[in-house]
Chain A
């Protein structure tokens, strides 16, 4: 079994005056794990429903496996969906929940009626086929012991598996997943995350996975599509999204703890000025333009208050509080030069222990901002390419 490619073009959807989706274009390769991530209300779930055929778009077209599915009913689209609430049939046993998609697809209407259905002749081969498929799928998910139970007798994780199994039995070309992990507790979520990725690789299926959790998006996906306000802002691999977010909203959304954003000004020759100092960084922006600089907390260097090291500029940071993650420490600071902007730095626990051991004022640190890792955004919030240069602390030295 191999997954199908999906091509979405110019999909638009509005409810009344509000535009939920605006000209969405997205191409998903066969066998790809594509995550659609965005804050709640950005339209990602609506997009998934339109893909499934549960909602009608105002315009645009959808192809699954090279065929236009605009006119097809959900059951004809060669898709399966896993819902946030799992949406298991509450009064049916797990066995029947798993068999239902096959019964609906393989048996004619009369044969699946509750009372007279079993009397229809010539169906026993198909029924045997269905129950053997159910057995295989439940075995591969490790839920064969639960087949006789009702959904209400299952734990959250077990329900999630059954929902997954119900999607798998029909061997669909595309799996649509609508926040399938958000009802699980944190420990289970991490475990199922790994299992889902392994399952996707094993089935070689196309996954379209909707989530608001950037950690899920980063850890699971082949590619991520970031959605904001009804538009897809960026489609790229997790590494690219992290290193070069196309938009300041993407930069803010991806990464934990969130990226630091500092106001910047552009000096002569596009040199970036930050916290009152010129940085070793040059952009295509004109002098006097407004800009913002993003700095990932992990890129910040921290040293004891007495000296700075390995940074193009160094600032005094006042410690507000620290979060201990065990192997890492997150420092919440304010910087000299702009005490209004909150600033976070993330460093290994061992480094932090060394800094603390060095004595000095325990509430002050020296913060180094490496200009070559800066992400510069223009006034509209778009990422602007920048280049490291050597700038002396006096502006006129720029060549």
Chain B
């Protein structure tokens, strides 16, 4: 009797532990499939960059060590177009945009979150409203304005539309609002100026949000093709994605060097991602974007 009872109880113990592990296996299987779908184009890009261009379409996922053309493809990519200049342009734009964005949005978000003034609700409403406007809508008037001012083909034209980010203001404002009012009051009694309250108290506490937004901003503007395509048509001011486009039309069907160039352009972001993976994840979860 007792042994039978024991058997039953061990079975009961085992049964529920099997179901979760199966569910976990299914879950991980699905995730692996999705990951493969996402990674496939990248794998294709890297393979195409290192093998003989004639094999790219006939046998896309093979790699024949005898027909490795990595050196040729990459050297062609680097000599056919000023890749270094394109990446430098992108770097200047990305850093410039981010610095001005942080200054404007931190200041605006603090005012909206912690100060009291007339028209505050209206201003915040406008920020929310601006969030709903797609970037394509103001593109034409902005292009005309820049053209009339003779500012096309400049770094300023590349950066200007992104100096004020409604999204950053909104994100930071939500963050700053959670900062304890009592600490700000204590700081006022201790003699902090408002700027010092922002720089010494609020910003350090919001560093994760600021890092997350920075990661977003850098990614978006490094990859942006739309706006550079509108305001730049000289090679000296082209950003990396635009340069790539230029490259493609010049090289026609030569996919090997094109993919090599694409690999070069993607690699800085991949490196940044690997270094700041935590902030990427935080950024996505924190902002609820994508």
Interface set of A (CB-CB < 8 Å, partner B): 49, 52-54, 73-75, 79-81, 83-85, 87-91, 100-101, 104-105, 109, 112, 114, 166
Contact = CB atoms under 8 A, between A and B. Distances in A.
A87 B189 CA distance: 11
A79 B204 CA distance: 27
A80 B189 contact: yes
A80 B149 CA distance: 54
B186 A87 contact: yes
A60 to B, nearest CB: 20
Q: Pick from B185, B186, B201, B205 the residue with the most CB of A within 10 Å.
A: B186
B59 interface: no
B157 to A, nearest CB: 33
B189 to A, nearest CB: 4
Interface in B156-190: 180, 182-183, 185-190
Contacts of B191: 75, 101, 104-105
Majority secondary structure of chain B interface residues (helix, strand, loop or mixed): helix
A90 B180 CA distance: 10
A107 B199 CA distance: 17
A104 B205 contact: no
A350 to B, nearest CB: 47
A84 B180 CA distance: 12
B193 interface: yes
A89 B187 contact: yes
B208 to A, nearest CB: 12
Contacts of A101: 189-191
Interface residues of B, number: 18
Which one of B188, B190, B192, B201 has the greatest number of beta carbons of chain A within 10 Å?
B190
Contacts of A83: 182, 185-186
A360 B13 CA distance: 62
13 contacts: A52-B189, A53-B188, A54-B189, A84-B182, A85-B182, A87-B182, A87-B185, A87-B186, A89-B186, A89-B200, A90-B205, A109-B193, A166-B190
Nearest to B199: A114
B189 A90 contact: no
Nearest to B187: A89
Contacts of A90: 183, 205
Contacts of A87: 180, 182-183, 185-186
Given A84-B182, A85-B180, A91 B189 contact: no
Contact of B188 (A74, A105, A112): A74
Given A87-B183, A90-B205, 12 more contacts: A49-B185, A54-B188, A74-B185, A74-B188, A74-B189, A75-B189, A75-B191, A85-B180, A87-B185, A89-B187, A101-B191, A112-B196
Interface string B5-34: 000000000000000000000000000000
